[in-house]
Structure 1
Amino acid sequence: MAAPQRNLLWNIVRNFIDSLKPRQISGNSMGKDYLGNAYFEIPANPSIGKRKPTRWYDPPKELDFQDPIPAEWEAWLRMRRTEPPTEEEIAKNLAIAQMKKINAAKLEAKRLAEGGALPSIPEKGAQSFPVYPDYQPGDPENKLPGNK
């Protein structure tokens, strides 16, 4: 028996017919976050050659993709985690972030109450080097202590 030969015209016709078949365009809803973003997924289907799932999100306002998304959902979107985050996990991480903001505000208020100023950062350039009162640069008579 001879192996079936490839026929270019038949491949073109078959691919055209396959392109007319309905495809899954809408994904399975995977959840929502506290910002109102809705997350979707089309699962992988190795039988048709789709090895990875397709994931995306829809923001609450149309075409407003400038707002940040929670780190847990971003990790899921970028395939760094297989399961979407749970409501408990998101609530716990949000509570930790709010606690950190409150603690930072308390530390800042304490620093201001003690009269502490912001630490000074030296400017870049010649002024950032140490200055010695008995040494003038360029004068061969002046030497640093310990140098001969």
Structure 2
Amino acid sequence: MANKPSRDILGIIWKNFCKSLRPRQFRGNYIGEDYFGNKYFEIPANPAIGKRKASRWFEPADKDAFDNELTAEWEAWLRGRRVDPPTREELVKNLQIMDMKKRNAAELDAQYAKGKDDKALPKQVEGESIGTYPKYKEYEIVPGKDPTEK
């Protein structure tokens, strides 16, 4: 005769009590580190004890002067939007893309700064703009009429 699980309430309570005395994991598993020096940890989910979601957290590199800088990849992993943590290659690739965007933005800013000096803003016609909207010589006031004609 096979050993059947007991269905009595005292047996269930006793088994749950014995399971509750088993040591639990309080220290997380080290998962990785980002280029700011933050370290990431996880305690995996264990449905057998009723824990359906993994516990994830990080320790900042400098706890006293933490300025809340997290990479987007690690933040997505912390919030559970990613299943797997980001790889080192992925972080390096995204850092290179971020640096390239900063360089391109600086080049465009320098290019447009040169162009601003060449193209001055249109001069406002003096005495004609008493209302709320300014009038300029270069812009037409009446639609369809050339601005040089009166």
TM norm structure 2: 0.65
Q: What one-letter code is carried by the residue in structure 1 that aligns with 2:97?
A: I
Structure 2 residue aligned with 1:81: 82
Shift of 1:128: 10
Q: Which amino acid aligns with 1:45?
A: N
Q: Which runs of 5+ in 2 are unaligned?
A: 1-6, 122-129, 136-141, 144-150
How far apart are 1:113 and its partner, in Å? 1.3
Alpha-carbon distance in 2 for matches of 1:87, 1:131: 56
2:86 match: secondary structure: coil
Alignment partner, residue 39 of structure 2: 38
Give the Å deviation of 1:129.
Answer: 6.0
Supply the AA of the counterpart residue of 1:68: E
Which residue in the other structure is 1:25 paired with? 26
Aligned residues: 117
Q: After superposition, where does 1:1-148 map in structure 2 within 5 Å?
A: 4=8, 14=17, 18=20, 21-62=22-63, 64-116=65-117, 130=133
Distance 1:29 1:98 in 2: 28
Distance 1:96 1:128, change over 3 A: farther
CA distance in structure 2 between the aligned counterparts of 1:87 and 1:63, rounded to whole angstroms: 26
Q: CA RMSD in A?
A: 3.3
Q: Which amino acid aligns with 2:40?
A: Y
> 1:66, CA displacement in angstroms?
2.7
Q: Provide Cα deviations, 1:63-117, integer angstroms capped at 9, x if missing partner.
A: 5543310000000000000000001111111111110000000001011112358
SS of aligned partner of 2:40: strand
Q: What is the one-letter code of the residue matched to 1:81?
A: R
For 2:109 and 2:85, the matched residues in 1 are separated by 36
| Match in the other structure for 2:127 | none
2:56 alignment partner, SS class: strand
Q: Distance in 1 between matches of 2:39 and 2:131?
A: 52
Q: Runs of 5+ in structure 1 lacking a partner?
A: 120-126, 133-143
Q: Deviations over 1:6-56 (max 9, x none)?
A: 8xxx89xx59x93x6532111111100000000000000000000000000
CA change 1:46–1:128 in 2 (3 A) is farther
Q: TM-score, normalised by structure 1?
A: 0.66
* Worse overlay, 77-86 or 55-64: 55-64
1:131 Cα deviation from its structure 2 partner: 6.2
